[in-house]
Amino acid sequence: MRGRKPTPTRLKILTGNPGKHPLNADEPRPEPAVPDCPPELSPAAQREWARLVTTLGPLRVLTHLDRAALAAYCAAYALWAEATEAIQKYGAMVKSPTGFPIQSPYVSIANRQAEIMMRISAEFGFTPASRGRISVAAEPEKTLFDQIDNKSGPPER
């Protein structure tokens, strides 16, 4: 195991670099963009993709590099939803071929997909704790000078 995940450079700058470690000036900064939904996702996964990109797109946290991670999250979500539906239909316990009650295989599928979803969701800031570690640049307020520059003539009085 490597230990803790490295803190992004932008977050170190915003917090004043408390560890005083050297900052990575060459950290890649891909352009924010909404990637296309992979066609191989199931219909349920595609619906989750559409829901997420409509929320994440305006925040400018997605790039084309995030396509595979977001697709993995959506696929895990679709499998989790399918397993959860089966648990609701058949129950968490089922009869084994010998007649003894055993845990439904859908429970382990749902649990595993939930683990995958939680791990990926922390990377995208889907949880309250992970959102606290992400900083989104605010739109700068327009000053009087910006308003004058955008008009073709002198400021109106």
> Over the range 10-29, which residues count as b (16 or more CB within 10 Å of their CB) and which as e?
eebeeeeeeeeeeeeeeeee
For the beta carbon of residue 77, count every other beta carbon within 10 angstroms: 25
31 vs 88: CA distance, rounded Å = 43
As a whole number of angstroms, the distance between CA 141 and CA 146 comes to: 9
For each of the chain's 157 residues, which pLDDT tens digit applies?
577 776 667 666 666 777 787 877 777 778 889 999 999 999 999 999 999 999 988 888 888 999 999 999 999 999 999 999 999 999 999 999 999 999 999 999 999 999 999 999 988 888 777 776 666 556 556 655 555 555 555 555 5
pTM over 0.75: no
Q: Rounded CA gap, 109 and 49, in Å?
A: 21
